[in-house]
Amino acid sequence: MASVIVVDSELSDSLKEYAHIIDAANQNTELSSALQPLVTGQDISDKQAVIAQLYKHSGAETLRKLTDKEFEPSVYLLIHILTQLSPSTLDDASSPLFKIILETNPSEQPTIRDRKSIKSTTVLSILNTIFNLLPETSKTRTYILSQILHVVKVSNLDFSLIEKSIGLRLITWLKQSGSSDEEIRSTFWKFITLDSRFSAKSLNLIKSFTATYPLNASELAQLITFSLSSDVVDVSFLVNNNVSNALGANSQDKLVGIFTKFVQGELVQVTESEAEGLPFEKINAKSRILSLAKFFSEQSSSAEHDSIIFKYNEIPNVSSTEDFETLLVDAIKSGVIEGKLNQVEETFYLTRVNRFVLAGNDQQNAKNWADVRTALLEWRNSLTNINEIVKSSRENIVNSSN
């Protein structure tokens, strides 16, 4: 069950109550006297005339006079009255009701002094409730969703407010409401661009989205800009089959070239002019970490090199001991590399390093599968040994206690 309105009074009483609220805000009796001839006792003769009067007197100007605490219940009462008079009011994107609500959204954040004025979050809450009042298959749900995104955008609301609650279900909702693939794609990217912090959660949302929907050139550019601006260092997990196809189709593009190199762990040096508004210093720093990870993963799997112990002087692209140590600490912080540093002997013990597994790189992936298989077999054998030791020592303890 989604939202349900329960009002324990007759429609005419609700109308009186609403007229009271509006007249109190306007400090006159216009709406009450306009409704009086239309409502006789419990009967409402001309429903359309009542609706017209309600819209006429409930402009955004009037509603703004209400305090934040009064505004939301009043709008709910208006919704209740309108749906009683004409049941299809909510399920109509062109309804004047939505216009009124959206116009009431404050264009500026209220200052700390006016605690009573209407907040954007209240407008969001109303849109949220309308969304829940609508049936799942209603097309108007798509409209409400886009308006919610619009309110978040213009009012500079924190993205975390909608990240989890909308992000996880956006596609399901849009599909249920019968949106076309084109609409779903444009709404999703609109939603993602609202995240000004480029969080890891949004990257995961992009990943699961691109797994089902292919990308065109502009969407790919958005994905690249987003992932390169993010604090997350290793974004190679974004390259699934769809992204890989899009990368292949747009390989002439300069940005695509940079991104392809970046996710493969090649050292990228972007200059300010090339970056086109991207944080080039951040990209270069991240790329250094990835190239270090690539070095570790290649060396540790090669037959000539010891798999876990690395000496300082073997590391490429570092200028000094301090430089390497800072880079390594950054890499460990970002979660790409794990290991232990021995500063006295100037060695590094590698425990774990991210491998770049990219879609479309079949040869490399086949090798990785084989490696993983060998590792699993080894692990299995050693586990059997451990289990035997555990069992025998248990028996030893039991026998010795007898």
Partner 1 sequence: MPVESSFMHLVRPNVAAPGVPSATGPSSVKIHAPAVFQILEIISKQVLSSDKRIIGTLLGIRSDDGSEFEIRDAFMVPCNETGDSLSIEDSTHKTLYQLYKKAHPKESVLGWFGSSNQIDNTTGLIHDFYSKGSDRAYPYPAIYLNVEYLKDGQISSPELSVYIGAAVGKPIATNVPIGWKTASTNNSYIFTPIPHHVINGSVTEKIAFNTLKEKSVNTTSFVLDSDYSFLSSQLEQVTANIDRLIQEIDTKVASGAASDRELDLLRLLSSTLLNKPQLLTNLAELERLFRDHNQDVIMIEYLTKAVKEQIELSARLTANAEADKKY
Using CB under 8 A, count the residues that bind partner 1: 88
Q: What is the residue whose two structure tokens read 């991104």?
A: 259
Q: Considering the complex, what minimum distance in angstroms separates the CB of residue 313 from partner 1? A: 21
Q: Considering the complex, what minimum distance in angstroms separates the CB of residue 191 from partner 1? A: 13
Q: Which stretch binds partner 1 (CB under 8 A): 47-55, 85-93, 131-139, 322-330?
A: 131-139
67: which DSSP letter? -
Q: How far apart are CA 358 and CA 263, in angstroms?
A: 8
Quote the tokens at residue 95: 């309804």
Q: How far apart are CA 347 and CA 269, in angstroms?
A: 27
Site for partner 1 in 77-96 (CB under 8 A): 77, 80
Q: Which stretch binds partner 1 (CB under 8 A): 33-41, 165-173, 181-189, 246-254?
A: 165-173
* Single residue of 60, 217, 329, 377 touching partner 1 by CB under 8 A: 377
The nearer residue to partner 1, 217 or 386, going by C-beta atoms, is 386
Q: Which residues is 342 bridged to in the sheet? A: 347
175 binds partner 1 (CB under 8 A): no
Q: Considering the complex, what minimum distance in angstroms separates the CB of residue 243 from partner 1? A: 10
Q: Which stretch binds partner 1 (CB under 8 A): 36-44, 105-113, 198-206, 296-304?
A: 296-304
Quote the tokens at residue 41: 């006792």
Site for partner 1 in 210-269 (CB under 8 A): 211, 236-237, 240-242
Q: Which stretch binds partner 1 (CB under 8 A): 11-19, 223-231, 281-289, 310-318?
A: 11-19
Cα-based distances in Å from 345 to 305, 321, 360: 18, 12, 41
Q: How far apart are CA 402 and CA 398, in angstroms?
A: 7
The nearer residue to partner 1, 122 or 291, going by C-beta atoms, is 122
Site for partner 1 in 51-70 (CB under 8 A): 68-70
Q: Considering the complex, what minimum distance in angstroms separates the CB of residue 123 from partner 1? A: 9
Q: Which of 271, 301, 281, 294 is nearest to 356 (CA)?
A: 294
* CB burial string 29-46: b at 16+ within 10 A, e below: eebbebbeebbeeeebee
* Single residue of 114, 371, 392, 396 touching partner 1 by CB under 8 A: 371
* 352: enclosing H helix or E strand: strand 347-353
The nearer residue to partner 1, 138 or 280, going by C-beta atoms, is 138
26 binds partner 1 (CB under 8 A): no
Q: How far apart are CA 249 and CA 240, in angstroms?
A: 14
Q: Considering the complex, what minimum distance in angstroms separates the CB of residue 1 from partner 1? A: 6
Q: Which of 60, 65, 54 is nearest to 26 (CA)?
A: 65
Q: Which residues is 248 bridged to in the sheet? A: none
DSSP, collapsed to helix, strand or coil, labels residue 138 as coil
Taking residues 332 to 351 in sequence order and writing x for each that binds partner 1 by CB under 8 A, - otherwise, the string is --------x--------xxx
Q: Which stretch binds partner 1 (CB under 8 A): 179-187, 257-265, 321-329, 370-378?
A: 370-378
The nearer residue to partner 1, 329 or 370, going by C-beta atoms, is 370
Q: What are phi and psi of 196, to 5 degrees?
A: -85, -5
